Structure 1
């Protein structure tokens, strides 16, 4: 969550956490648990070898207040079942499984012609992506 949305604070990082859990609940090709979903090749850019966030993410420590916040949020997500009705009701992404930063120069191909279901911080969130 820190590697993808730290600039958007708790709301943005939490939204990314919901996307991860929505993927855990969804198609099995994303993975069947949080770790496999997060580490799926080319799904979360902060894990990509050439991404500028990767070295920052690998070097961050608990001295960074945003990382501490992300760690607390992550602990809460791990403690909650992805399909927990309370989590699903509280999901600000409305079940999104995809997102991207509005800072990108153009929309990714998978988002062409689609409408976001939520806008949180610098990110647009989408669901029902095939």
Structure 2
């Protein structure tokens, strides 16, 4: 699959919106979760097609919801701080190019531990990693 400049930009913006307070390793883990959705091997995937399609599909990543406080930054209405966005771009580049292994063990889901309670989909899913303020899962029913 070819990766476009738009894919890189949308993935980096998603990483900033979802995990800007995380280390580079934490952002790489979130990026791998997105890559695992992109590469799920199914035609016309439910997740969406390509990085931009997966990231911006409604209700997959809350930072792209119009009522989310991050949305104005992701759409360019407000400026993302340079250093924070640069780290997200590094994470995006490393994951899209395959320069770093998947620390999540194939996760397709995660949630932030700052949520009041875990989402319902964790029941029956296999936890693969806890890193920073995120918990990662695969085999989500």
**Normalising by the residue count of structure 1, what TM-score does the alignment of the two structures yield?**
0.83
Alignment: residue pair count: 122
CA contact (8 A) 1:24 1:33 kept: yes
Distance 2:109 2:134 in 1: 10
**CA RMSD between the two structures:** 1.8
Which structure 1 residue ranges, 5 or more long, are not aligned? 81-85
Please identify runs of 4+ aligned residues in structure 1 that moved more than 6 A: none
Distance change in 2, residues 1:24/1:119 (3 Å): same
- 1:60 corresponding residue in structure 2: 79
- 1:95 corresponding residue in structure 2: 106
Deviation at 1:109, TM superposition (A): 1.2
Q: What are the Cα deviations for residues 11-59 of structure 1, in whole angstroms up to 9, with x where unaligned?
A: 1111111011100111511023111110111001100111122224442
Q: Relative to total residues, which structure has the larger helix share, 1 or 2?
A: 1
- 1:10 corresponding residue in structure 2: 24
Does residue 50 of structure 1 match 2:67? Answer: yes
Aligned pairs (5 A) from 1:1-130: 1-26=15-40, 27=42, 28-58=45-75, 59-61=78-80, 63-80=81-98, 90-130=101-141
Distance 1:76 1:14 in 2: 8
Distance 1:76 1:64 in 2: 18
Distance change in 2, residues 1:60/1:11 (3 Å): farther
CA contact (8 A) 1:6 1:12 kept: no
SS at match of 1:116: strand
Distance 2:130 2:114 in 1: 13
